[in-house]
């Protein structure tokens, strides 16, 4: 068989096709300057750490791992076999392994995979082929060479050391220390490491890697003293000498650059560079000088000091240094606390116009400095494979700046991705102003040509859909109102599906028309006539758009991002505005029907005074504020939280919008209501809710203040007077009060009678089951609230676990009082295993006040009437008698997103003691799933039991186990049964979605909201009776249409269990208090939102524990389009090895590694008690990182405790107790994995 034929089989076996002789795929054009050819990679002399095991993919032959970490793969003739590690690499990294082809299979090929898809469907591959005597770099997806192969004499049976270095688009390969390939290519920016064997028996030596924790690339250095290590990028400079490292791959104008810094030498100085030239010899620098006790901002080329900040800086301490540059305004921020972050405000500011753009970089002087977490703000997008064809494309604080500056008239800056999807939803935030125009291109060819283009021209005021290949317009329209003003950020959404295309700008349809004839799958951005900024760029196949793991069909959620407290709910000119919290910012969406929401850009971001926490908004219809020049507009009141101040110095600030909420300006610089403790006050003081007091003709503000609520009044919305307080004492049930609401409602059936409702949420403590929504009715006299009853009658607004921070709309038409709540609980607020999206809101509910006989006034809640418009089919049955042994009357019904209405009659005597509806029934992972809605006829309670509803191992209290929860296994609320005589009738209405149940009963006076996480295939329903008969008078199941999803396919499938082997000698370990622990390629991997520990079966007095430890990471199934990792398992996290632990882990020594706090430490927990002042026995600052493997040795011998990491002793301390106990492996708030765990009893 010829060598040429063997090579052809290799490509064909990969399903990749073959290349003609001499064919080479041309490297893509770079976005920025590449590292100079011939310049050694910055990782060349780096250390490496072992990576998680490579786990064989299905149908990949036989893979065997030795105890030393080597692999032997045996694959049949003409076939390939792949094994993938969970280790990811992106910007700058090194991957090394030994490769040999067994002499018995001389036509075999051994290959290292990097930046690869988890299923091996794409990525880069470096192959050693002794048969053809070549080293080859090729695209795993196409089989095409990236650059011509290197002719290298290779022998079977010889073990070659293969060393792959990546730095942005640069790929540098050495074999046995000799450079063989040096390429530039942009196809893959991030992916997994792995192995590929072809056509025989292949041996791979120990696999190891090193990544620089940075999102900047193109490193050039001024000396050989830089080394990438497990604890940072380290520069060791000779006495009096400078070392510089500059990331030349990016040239931002508006810069925001952050680095964690650790100075290891007494007289060393470390610095970050910005707006620097490629040599680091001109630009700006901010230096950290422990010896001088100061920070200094200076101009590099002439050493001119622009500003200083004197502060104590500890050698070996870890600090976060941030520099910003916008125009001539320069600033330096300094963070010293990682647990309660400070550094929000700059400590140095300066004006200097010497440099308007440039690179970022690092400097080490006169000793040893280390840097970690190098982050340049820029484009937020999970898309990869970008190629810049023309123009300038650079990161910017506002995203990605594309510019045709310097190009000929009519020239166009172009950036594209060869393949994304054909039917696609593109969403991005765009800032473009005349004379520039910007465009989005979909269905373009692999070279960026052709496609369907959406062109936005603010100067002409037009939006045009074009067929680029034909050069014809497909549709055009005027720019929607309130859009594309100078400096305005605009949300653009383009949906191309089949033959149709639709474009929205700021939530308003701009045009709809034919999609054109383009048939490619590429995606691109274009700019002409100037510059434009793009941010939050997504391009989703319609099959996954709004269709993530557990993602709801008709409840509000975001395609990606966090959705929590509803804020600023307001109605104006036919639009409902929904603002909500998203990481300390006000996200924004609009709707005309309360069901179909359109996303807009962030309305209130992090501002100079602090983060923008919760609040409310009103319509200033009479210009009482004077902000609208006699017109009207929206005024938003938000909590400003400054991380540099005590408890954030929470205050109320105001912003306003004169263009229907599309842009916002601050109403005034100072707060409209400052913290009651003054400018440095530390009171809890947040979540202002504004309402109108028609009787008094004044505005009312109610603010949560910890253990009470505070009322203020105003006539102009900007000047507020303190009025009164409410709360304290028995009104507080354990947690702080938050998110109040205050509104007046008529009492049904009592003409002319009204009552004010004062509502709040409270948490997060066990006494409230994590969170609770509470209210009281009463009267308001213009300055003070008087409740109708005392705190003993404090009412629960929702008896479920997952209805928090609810707020009502201001100005809803027809006098309706409509509320939305965040469906979550502070026990697990952001812990749901949902992946790229997190958080959802309840259905909008219309509120009323009803007199309940024997109970008094109660709020009644019903889903808004608009919800009925989503019913697209109905199954129903009537007059069905059901007993304990009856067949399931709902067996023929299935549903994932539906509404159930039922009237159930319980006869007397002989009636059932209880009945239940089973919802979302099915099985997953061998376990049955079911959520029960149960009525207890004896107790008269209606409840939801989610103890078997699906995923619950991500947090402690979700399932409601009685031992962990002060409530019963299901949430319940007393209801009054209608009717009388010979039967009692109970009406139930249940809204079910992909991950929630909302139950309404008792004529709306009982409401229960619960999250659930069943598998997408759990769609069954049932009905059953206990202890007697019931009669289903009527039951209807309405299937509800999706409001955002564009496919009928179910939400993304739940991830399968991890694969791989965990090597340990813990014995039959016990997990406390809960959590998921699995065998994986990284070892025994635990994921949980708080502390979870796997405890050994045996106990030890003197003991040594050795383990390879890593935090974060985790496998995922397949290659998700946008690179989104579905966080079915945590991706951050910290952890500990426990020594001498009690059976529940409440007493132990914790040998703790925390990449978030950049610390290694030992602390002692005693009966669950932790005192920061006395429990921490030793603490060592360390630039620990996620997704890096560390070899940890922890030892307890008598009173002596020692900790060694990667062979370096970090801690040696003495403590008198505890004397013996179990060994444990712990995870906290994420994922931790422990491999090759050896527990050794010491004599």
| 550 within some domain | no
| 756 within some domain | yes
Region 4-19 average pLDDT: 29
Do 1000 and 1117 have their domain in common?
Answer: no
| 344 within some domain | yes
With CA atoms as reference, report the closest residue to 294 among 307, 281, 284, 285. 307
On the question of pLDDT at 1119 being above 50, the answer is no
pLDDT at 965: 32
Domain-ending residue, one of 805, 839, 863: 863
Pairwise CA distance, residues 841 & 804, whole Å: 9
- Strand locations in 651-794, DSSP E? 651-657, 665-666, 686-693, 698-704, 708-714, 721-727, 736-746, 754-763, 771-780, 785-787
- What confidence tens digit (pLDDT) does each residue in 322-342 have? 999 999 999 999 999 999 999
Q: Residue 336 burial by CB count (10 A; 0-12/13-18/19+): exposed, middle or buried?
A: middle
Pairwise CA distance, residues 863 & 857, whole Å: 20
Do 723 and 753 have their domain in common?
Answer: yes
Task: Report whether 242 contacts 355 (CB < 8 A).
Answer: no
On the question of pLDDT at 781 being above 60, the answer is yes
CATH number of the domain where residue 110 is located: 2.60.120.560
Task: Report whether 756 contacts 779 (CB < 8 A).
Answer: yes
| 553 within some domain | no
Q: Are strands 561-562 and 837-838 parallel, antiparallel or unpaired?
A: parallel
- What confidence tens digit (pLDDT) does each residue in 984-1022 have? 889 999 999 999 999 998 788 989 999 999 999 999 999
Do 724 and 790 have their domain in common?
Answer: yes
The C-alpha torsion from 930 through 936 and 942 to 947, rounded to 10°, is: -30
- What is the strand order of the sheet 686-693 is part of? 686-693, 698-704, 708-714, 721-727
- What confidence tens digit (pLDDT) does each residue in 1130-1154 have? 457 999 999 999 999 999 999 999 9
pLDDT at 909: 82
Q: Give bridge partners of residue 578 from the DSSP assignment.
A: 589
CATH number of the domain where residue 621 is located: 2.115.10.20
pLDDT at 977: 54
Pairwise CA distance, residues 1002 & 1007, whole Å: 9
On the question of pLDDT at 33 being above 60, the answer is no
Region 942-964 average pLDDT: 81
Tokens of 1044: 């955002």
Task: Report whether 521 contacts 423 (CB < 8 A).
Answer: no
Region 592-602 average pLDDT: 98
SS3 725: strand
pLDDT at 38: 63
Q: Are strands 818-822 and 804-808 parallel, antiparallel or unpaired?
A: antiparallel
Do 53 and 33 have their domain in common?
Answer: yes
| 339 within some domain | yes
pLDDT at 1132: 78
Pairwise CA distance, residues 321 & 361, whole Å: 13
pLDDT at 1131: 53
Distance of CA 1135 to the CA centre of its chain: 20
Domain count, the chain: 6
Region 276-300 average pLDDT: 98
- Please give the C-alpha separations between residue 273 and each of 147, 212, 254, in angstroms, as whole numbers: 34, 17, 14
With CA atoms as reference, report the closest residue to 823 among 1006, 1074, 557. 557
pLDDT at 963: 37
| 1060 within some domain | no
Do 1033 and 1142 have their domain in common?
Answer: no
Region 666-685 average pLDDT: 96
Do 271 and 135 have their domain in common?
Answer: no
pLDDT at 434: 92
pLDDT at 978: 59
Note the pTM of the prediction, 2 decimals: 0.93
Cβ density class 169-202: b for 16+ within 10 Å, e for less: bbbbbbbeeeebbbbbbbbbbebbbbbbbbbbbb
The CB density around residue 481, as the number of other CB atoms within 10 Å, is 11
Domain-ending residue, one of 863, 889, 905: 863
Give the domain extent around 938: 865-1040
Tokens of 990: 């249940």
Q: How confident is residue 1052, by pLDDT bands cut at 50, 70 and 90?
A: confident
Say which range, 104-108, 133-137, 1049-1053, 1097-1101, has the weakest mean pLDDT.
Answer: 1049-1053
Element (H, E) at 5: helix 3-13
Domain-ending residue, one of 541, 571, 604: 541
Q: Give bridge partners of residue 296 from the DSSP assignment.
A: 287, 308
Do 1155 and 1223 have their domain in common?
Answer: yes
- What confidence tens digit (pLDDT) does each residue in 409-451 have? 889 999 999 999 999 999 999 999 999 999 999 999 999 999 9
Do 809 and 680 have their domain in common?
Answer: yes
- What confidence tens digit (pLDDT) does each residue in 167-218 have? 999 999 999 999 999 999 999 999 999 999 999 999 999 999 999 999 999 9
For residue 435, say if its preceding peptide bond is cis, omega within 30 degrees of 0: yes
Query: Whose structure tokens read 């602390």?
Result: 1163
| 1114: region left, alpha or beta (phi > 0 left; psi from -120 to 50 alpha) | left
On the question of pLDDT at 25 being above 50, the answer is no
Do 869 and 848 have their domain in common?
Answer: no
DSSP per residue over 1120-1188, as a string? -TT----TTS-SS-EEEEEEEE-TTSSSEEEEEEETTTTEEEEEEEBTTB--TTTSEEEEEE----TT-
pLDDT at 1114: 52
Say which range, 691-695, 766-770, 988-992, 1216-1220, has the weakest mean pLDDT.
Answer: 766-770
pLDDT at 30: 33
Q: How confident is residue 960, by pLDDT bands cut at 50, 70 and 90?
A: low
Region 743-763 average pLDDT: 96
Average pLDDT, the chain: 92
Residues 1095, 1100, 1101, CA angle at the centre, nearest 5°?
135
Which residues are annotated as catalytic? Answer: 565
On the question of pLDDT at 1166 being above 50, the answer is yes
Do 371 and 520 have their domain in common?
Answer: no
Q: Give bridge partners of residue 269 from the DSSP assignment.
A: 365
Do 1142 and 1078 have their domain in common?
Answer: yes
Q: How confident is residue 908, by pLDDT bands cut at 50, 70 and 90?
A: confident
pLDDT at 1: 26
Task: Report whether 451 contacts 522 (CB < 8 A).
Answer: yes
Largest CA distance in the chain: 97
pLDDT at 1053: 76
Element (H, E) at 369: strand 368-376
Region 1169-1177 average pLDDT: 93
The CB density around residue 1029, as the number of other CB atoms within 10 Å, is 17
| 1051 within some domain | no
On the question of pLDDT at 464 being above 80, the answer is yes
pLDDT at 406: 84
Query: What percentage of the chain has pLDDT greater than the value 70?
Result: 94
Region 528-545 average pLDDT: 96
Task: Report whether 820 contacts 581 (CB < 8 A).
Answer: no
| 1137 within some domain | yes
- Please give the C-alpha separations between residue 582 and each of 640, 837, 1226, in angstroms, as whole numbers: 14, 11, 30
Tokens of 941: 């309670």
Tokens of 485: 């003003």
Do 847 and 926 have their domain in common?
Answer: no
Tokens of 112: 């290292």
- Strand locations in 281-328, DSSP E? 284-289, 294-299, 304-310, 318-326
């Amino acid at each position: 068989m010829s060598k040429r034929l063997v090579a052809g089989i290799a490509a064909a076996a990969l399903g990749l096709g073959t290349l003609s002789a001499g064919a080479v795929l041309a490297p893509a054009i770079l976005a920025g300057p590449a590292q100079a050819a011939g310049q050694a990679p910055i990782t060349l002399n780096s250390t490496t750490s072992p990576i998680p095991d490579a786990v064989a993919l299905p149908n990949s032959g036989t893979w065997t791992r030795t105890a030393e970490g080597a692999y032997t793969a045996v694959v049949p003739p003409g076939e390939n076999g792949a094994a993938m590690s969970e280790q990811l690499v992106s910007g700058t990294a090194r991957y090394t392994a030994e490769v040999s082809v067994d002499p018995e299979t001389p036509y075999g090929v051994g290959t290292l995979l990097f930046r690869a898809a988890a299923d091996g469907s794409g990525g880069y591959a470096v192959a050693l082929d002794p048969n053809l005597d070549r080293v080859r770099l090729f695209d795993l997806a196409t089989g095409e060479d990236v650059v011509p192969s290197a002719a290298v004499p290779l022998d079977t049976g010889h073990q070659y050391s293969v060393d792959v270095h990546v730095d942005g688009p640069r790929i540098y390969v050495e074999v046995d220390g000799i450079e063989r390939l040096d390429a530039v290519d942009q196809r893959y920016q991030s992916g997994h490491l792995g192995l590929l064997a072809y056509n025989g028996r292949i041996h791979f030596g120990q696999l190891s890697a090193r990544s620089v924790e940075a999102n900047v690339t193109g490193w050039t250095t001024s000396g050989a003293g830089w080394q990438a290590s497990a604890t940072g990028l380290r520069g060791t400079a000779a006495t009096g000498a400078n070392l510089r490292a500059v990331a030349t791959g990016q040239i931002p104008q508006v810069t925001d650059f952050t680095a964690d810094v650790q100075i290891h030498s007494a007289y060393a100085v470390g610095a970050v560079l910005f707006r620097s030239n490629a040599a680091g010899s001109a630009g700006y620098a901010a230096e950290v000088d422990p010896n001088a006790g100061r920070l200094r901002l200076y101009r590099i080329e002439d050493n001119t000091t622009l500003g200083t900040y004197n502060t104590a800086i500890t050698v070996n301490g870890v600090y976060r240094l941030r520099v910003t540059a916008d125009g001539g305004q320069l600033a330096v921020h300094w963070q010293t606390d990682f647990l309660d972050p400070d550094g929000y405000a700059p400590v140095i500011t300066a004006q200097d116009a010497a440099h308007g753009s440039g690179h970022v970089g690092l400097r080490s002087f006169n000793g040893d400095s280390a840097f970690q977490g190098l982050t340049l703000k820029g484009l937020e997008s999970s898309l990869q494979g970008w190629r810049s064809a023309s123009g300038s494309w650079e990161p910017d604080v506002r995203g990605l700046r594309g510019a045709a500056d310097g190009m000929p008239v009519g020239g166009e800056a172009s950036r594209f991705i060869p393949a994304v999807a054909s039917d696609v939803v593109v969403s991005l935030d765009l800032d473009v102003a005349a004379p520039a125009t910007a465009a989005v291109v979909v269905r373009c060819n692999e070279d960026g040509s052709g496609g369907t283009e959406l062109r936005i021209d603010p100067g002409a005021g037009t939006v045009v859909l074009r067929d680029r290949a034909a050069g014809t317009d497909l549709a055009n329209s005027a720019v929607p109102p309130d859009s594309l003003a100078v400096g305005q950020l605009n949300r653009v959404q383009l949906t191309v599906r089949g033959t149709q295309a639709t474009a929205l700008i700021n939530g308003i349809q701009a045009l709809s028309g034919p999609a054109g004839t383009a048939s490619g799958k590429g995606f691109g951005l274009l700019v002409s006539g100037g510059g434009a900024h793009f941010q939050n760029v997504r391009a989703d196949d319609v099959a996954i758009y709004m269709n993530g793991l557990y993602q709801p069909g008709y409840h509000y959620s975001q395609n990606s991002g966090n959705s929590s407290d509803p804020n600023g709910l307001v109605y104006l000119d036919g639009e409902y505005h929904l603002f909500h919290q998203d990481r300390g910012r006000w996200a924004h969406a609009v709707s005309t029907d309360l069901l179909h929401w359109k996303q807009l850009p962030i309305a209130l971001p992090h501002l100079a005074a602090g983060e923008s926490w919760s609040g409310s908004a009103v319509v200033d219809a009479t210009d009482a504020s004077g902000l609208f020049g006699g017109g009207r507009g929206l005024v938003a009141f938000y909590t400003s939280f400054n991380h540099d101040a005590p408890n954030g110095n929470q205050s109320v600030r105001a912003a306003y919008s004169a263009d229907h909420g599309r842009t916002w300006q601050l109403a005034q610089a100072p707060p409209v209501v400052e913290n009651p403790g003054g400018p440095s006050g530390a009171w809890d003081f947040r979540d202002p809710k504004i309402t109108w007091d028609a009787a008094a003709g004044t505005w009312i503000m109610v603010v949560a203040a910890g253990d009470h609520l505070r009322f203020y009044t105003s006539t102009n919305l900007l000047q507020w007077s303190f009025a009164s307080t409410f709360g304290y004492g028995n009104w507080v049930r354990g947690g702080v009060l938050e998110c109040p609401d205050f509104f007046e409602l008529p009492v049904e059936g009592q003409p002319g009678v009204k009552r004010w409702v004062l509502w709040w949420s409270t948490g997060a403590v066990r006494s409230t089951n994590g969170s609770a929504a509470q209210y009281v009715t009463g009267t308001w006299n213009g300055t003070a609230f008087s409740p109708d009853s005392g705190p003993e009658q404090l009412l629960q607004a929702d008896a479920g676990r997952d209805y928090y921070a609810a707020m009502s709309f201001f100005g809803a038409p027809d006098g309706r009082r409509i509320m939305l709540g965040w469906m979550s609980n502070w026990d697990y607020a952001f812990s749901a295993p949902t992946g790229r999206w997190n958080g959802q809101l309840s259905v909008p509910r219309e509120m009323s006040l009803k007199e309940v006989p024997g109970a008094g006034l109660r709020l009644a809640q019903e889903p808004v009437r608009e919800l009925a418009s989503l019913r697209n089919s109905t199954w129903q049955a009537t007059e069905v008698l059901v007993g304990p042994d009856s067949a399931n009357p709902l067996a023929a019904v299935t549903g994932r997103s539906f509404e159930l209405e039922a009237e159930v009659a319980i006869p007397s005597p002989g009636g059932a003691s209880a009945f239940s509806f089973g919802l979302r029934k099915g099985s997953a992972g061998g376990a049955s799933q079911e959520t029960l809605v149960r009525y207890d006829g004896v107790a008269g309670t209606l409840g939801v039991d989610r103890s078997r509803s699906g995923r619950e191992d991500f947090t402690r209290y979700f399932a409601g186990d009685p031992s962990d929860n002060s409530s019963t296994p299901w949430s319940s609320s007393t209801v009054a049964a209608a009717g009388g005589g010979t039967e009692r009738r109970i009406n139930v209405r249940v809204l079910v979605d992909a991950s929630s149940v909302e139950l309404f009963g008792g004529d709306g006076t009982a409401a229960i909201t619960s999250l659930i996480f069943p598998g997408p295939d759990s769609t069954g329903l049932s009905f059953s009776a206990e202890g007697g008969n019931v009669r289903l008078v009527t039951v209807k199941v309405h299937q509800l249409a999706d409001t955002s999803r564009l496919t009928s396919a179910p939400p993304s499938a739940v991830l399968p269990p991890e694969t791989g082997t965990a090597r340990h000698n813990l014995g039959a370990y016990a997990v406390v208090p809960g959590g998921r622990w699995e065998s994986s390629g990284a070892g025994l991997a635990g994921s949980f939102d708080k502390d979870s520990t796997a405890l050994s079966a045996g106990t030890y007095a003197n003991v040594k524990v050795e383990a390879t430890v890593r935090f974060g990471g985790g496998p995922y199934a397949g290659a998700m389009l946008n690179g989104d990792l579905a966080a079915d398992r945590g991706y951050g996290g910290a952890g500990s090895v426990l020594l001498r632990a009690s059976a529940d882990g409440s007493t132990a020594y914790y040998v703790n590694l925390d990449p978030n706090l950049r610390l290694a430490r030992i602390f002692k927990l005693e009966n669950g008690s932790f005192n920061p002042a006395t429990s921490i026995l030793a603490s060592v600052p360390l630039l620990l990182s996620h997704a890096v493997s560390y070899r940890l040795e922890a030892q307890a011998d008598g009173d002596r405790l020692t900790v060694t990491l990667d062979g370096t002793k970090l801690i040696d301390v003495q403590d008198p107790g505890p004397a013996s106990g179990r060994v444990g492996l712990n995870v906290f708030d994420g994922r931790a994995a422990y491999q090759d765990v050896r527990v050794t009893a010491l004599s």
